[in-house]
Structure 1
Amino acid sequence: MTPFAKAILTWYDAYGRKSLPWQKNKTAYSVWLSEIMLQQTQVATVIPYYERFLNRFPTVTDLANAEQDEVLHLWTGLGYYARARNLHKAAKEVAEKYQGEFPKDLESMNALPGIGRSTAAAVLSSVYKLPHAILDGNVKRTLARSFAVSGWPGQKKVENKLWEYAEQHTPNTDVDKYNQAMMDMGAMICTRSKPKCTLCPVSTMCESNKNGNQLDYPGKKPKKEKPVKETWFALLYHDNHIWLEQRPQSGIWGGLFCFPQKEDQELATELNKRSITESTIDEEKTLIAFRHTFSHYHLDITPVLFKLSKQPDMVMEGTKGLWYNLSQPEEIGLAAPVKQLIESLPFEIN
């Protein structure tokens, strides 16, 4: 075991997190679920979602047997919805291909939808104590500073160098504790903007601490100005119901329910497709526009509320839609701005 690993483990025994919900009664399913939720999301945000999911789907087979709409509904608000779709696909694969038992080899685990090398290693090391290195965002930051690895970790050569250090220092014993300790280090000590170097167990070994340039590591992603796109939402309302349509599985908000939308202000064509004409519209009201930001662009949304005199049939070929009951909401996955608008509707309608 390297001096670096020994120091990290000693620190973990004294200060590491040991009472997170997924650390109790650990199973491959519960750890995998937590790891997927923790991708790009903080622990405090994840905990209530994790507990709801585990309560509703106690086993991977329960999750596999669920409808995707229900999975997306429980995920609503957690963001990065491709994670939820892949979670459901992976559960089905585990249930069907592996009879409800997660594989214990890295290659098979890594091949499951939405998992990847680091997540696969985190599950196998945590549950089965197999000596596999991990490299999530917290670990990348800690290693980049400790060993002065220059460059943005999104670049392959930088990531490969970090993997080398991760593998070099991951011990064969206590690997479950070590990997958790490395995640805790990044979350508690080697934080993004204000690292607590005086409390760090490896500060005397840390290259960036010696040089006083901790914030230079890891390197920043080359900045690109986010483009701005525009869209208009048609909020079709009648008798305390609002019309929603399920989006295609691929693309933004894949599989989630959304309002009919158009990339320009001419919503009339979208309404005509749904058998809505001027004679069926009692009132039209443009609501306050707002911005929704994705990882790669900004989307400026202008919602337009249409109060209808009657509820049209709304049959559109290839589209799954429903009249969403505002008093008794269905359990379906909603795009974040749709959820936001639905919550504000009572104030706009009255």
Structure 2
Amino acid sequence: MTDRFAEKLLHWFDLYGRKDLPWQQNIHPYRVWVSEIMLQQTQVSTVIPYFERFMASFPDVQSLANAELDQVLHHWTGLGYYARARNLHRAAQIVVTECGGEFPDDVEALQQLPGIGRSTAGAICAIAHQKQAAILDGNVKRVLARYHAIAGWPGQSSVLKQLWEQAELHTPSERIADYTQAIMDLGATVCTRSKPDCDNCPLADNCQALAIGNQADFPGKKPRKEQPVRRCLFLVIRNPEGDILLERRPANGLWGGLWVFPQCPEIEDIHNTCDQLGCTPKSWELLSTRRHTFSHFHLDYQPALIEAQQTSQVMDSPGLVWYNPASSLELGTAQPVRQLLQQLTQ
């Protein structure tokens, strides 16, 4: 091993790296894959309980492929970016039906599966198959951008190309799984976004950003745009039995495939929307407006608690369900919906 970058990083990992994360135990392509998907844009501390519950319910790719999408989305509720869960479910079905239940062991083939990009494919190959493959998640981008003083936002193709070149250059041919975990760990625990611990970084001697004293400038920030705000009413419709009406979103788009409260734009639209749903409001009450932030806009929503009269017509639609919050029925719900349902049962 001639690359001092990898050598120093591995020495640091032997002393300080994390080795007790749940997906580091019983290493298998399936477990690595699920953890990598969950860790996209989500912190380790948040992912750990989700991963453990997910593995308890879907211990292998066959059980995930056989599960109903609602079950998968239910286990994902709160993690956000729900397309990840839908892609996970679809990819599991492809692995079972087209790959004989075995994950491909090369980067190109893995990238043919829904939701698996170049970095995730590299992680699966490196960690599960011990194959030389580079990764470039957010932590790795930060380490490499600072070490080589690569200016610019990584979302730009020219910047990303430079980062991938360095990622490939530094990836060793030995101890590949340890190296992959090491560089992710360094970015997560030492070379952090704010207040990096440069005094305890094994790469400090040759870090170009540290040498010129502007670590905070790397990687470059995404150009800021003011987030637009959308507004709507959440219709929390309750029938005489205490069940609450939920509506399933289309498979694609915002909250795709999840069960949510019916929505309407204005207070004046409440009666018309209820009529379209097949129920008649008896009384209703507005709660305070709340905000849920997506990656590209803010959603300001105001819950309207509606007591409905007899509502038998609702069941004529397959996209609607009366849900009892106290039941054991597993439905995939959006986070604001889950929070409101919990509030209503307290």
Q: TM-score when scaled to structure 2?
A: 0.97
> In the alignment, which of 253, 258, 261 is matched to residue 259 of structure 1?
261
Aligned residues: 343
SS at match of 1:173: coil
In the alignment, what sits opposite 1:293?
293
Structure 2: distance between partners of 1:33 and 1:211: 39
Which residue number in structure 2 is paired with residue 302 of structure 1? 302
Q: Which residue of 2 aligns with 1:178?
A: 179
Tell me, in whole angstroms, the C-alpha distance in 2 between the residues paired with 1:305 and 1:202: 57
Q: CA deviation at 1:106?
A: 1.1
- CA offset at residue 321 of structure 1? 1.5
1:246 aligned partner, one-letter code: R
Describe the superposition over 1:79-123 as per-residue Cα deviations: whole angstroms up to 9, x where unpaired.
Answer: 110100000011001001101100111111111100100000001
Equivalent position of 1:14 in the other structure: 15
Q: 1:110-149, aligned counterparts within 5 Å?
A: 110-149=111-150
Name the aligned partner's letter for residue 313 of structure 1: Q
- Who is 2:329 aligned against? 330
- Equivalent residue number for residue 314 of structure 1: 314
Q: Is the 8 A contact 1:61 1:91 kept in 2?
A: yes
SS in 1 for 2:312: coil
**Residue 271 (structure 1) aligns with:** 274
Q: Secondary structure at the match of 1:229?
A: strand
Give the superposed CA RMSD. Answer: 1.2
The answer to whether the Cα contact below 8 Å between 2:33 and 2:120 also exists between their aligned partners in 1 is: yes
Decide whether the 8 Å contact of 2:315 with 2:321 is kept in 1: no
Q: Distance in 2 between matches of 1:33 and 1:174?
A: 22
Decide whether the 8 Å contact of 2:326 with 2:345 is kept in 1: no
2:96: which partner in 1?
Answer: 95
Following the alignment from structure 2 to structure 1, what is the Cα–Cα distance between the partners of residues 224 and 260?
31
Give CA-to-partner distance per residue, 1:159-214, whole Å, 9 cap, x none: 11000000011111111111110000000110000100000001010001111100
Unaligned regions of 5+ residues in structure 2, if any?
none
Q: Percent identity?
A: 51
When structure 1 is superposed on structure 2, of 323-332 and 39-48 the one drifting more is: 323-332
Deviating beyond 2 angstroms after TM superposition, the runs of 4 or more aligned structure 1 residues are 309-313
SS at the partner of 2:237? strand
How far residue 315 of structure 1 moved from its aligned partner, in angstroms, is 4.2
Which amino acid letter does the alignment assign opposite residue 331 of structure 1?
A: E
Separation of aligned partners in 2, 1:274 and 1:312: 10
Query: What aligned pairs does 1:1-350 form with structure 2 within 5 A after superposition?
Result: 1-238=2-239, 239-265=241-267, 266-277=269-280, 281-315=281-315, 319-346=318-345
Tell me which amino acid in the other structure corresponds to 2:250. P
- Distance, in Å, in 1 between the alignment partners of 2:144 and 2:30 is 28
Report the CA distance between 1:327 and its aligned residue: 2.1
Structure 1, unaligned runs of 5 or more:
none
Deviation at 1:346, TM superposition (A): 4.0
SS in 2 for 1:291: strand
Secondary structure of residue in 1 paired with 2:247: strand
Counterpart CA distance in 2 for 1:237 and 1:303 is 13
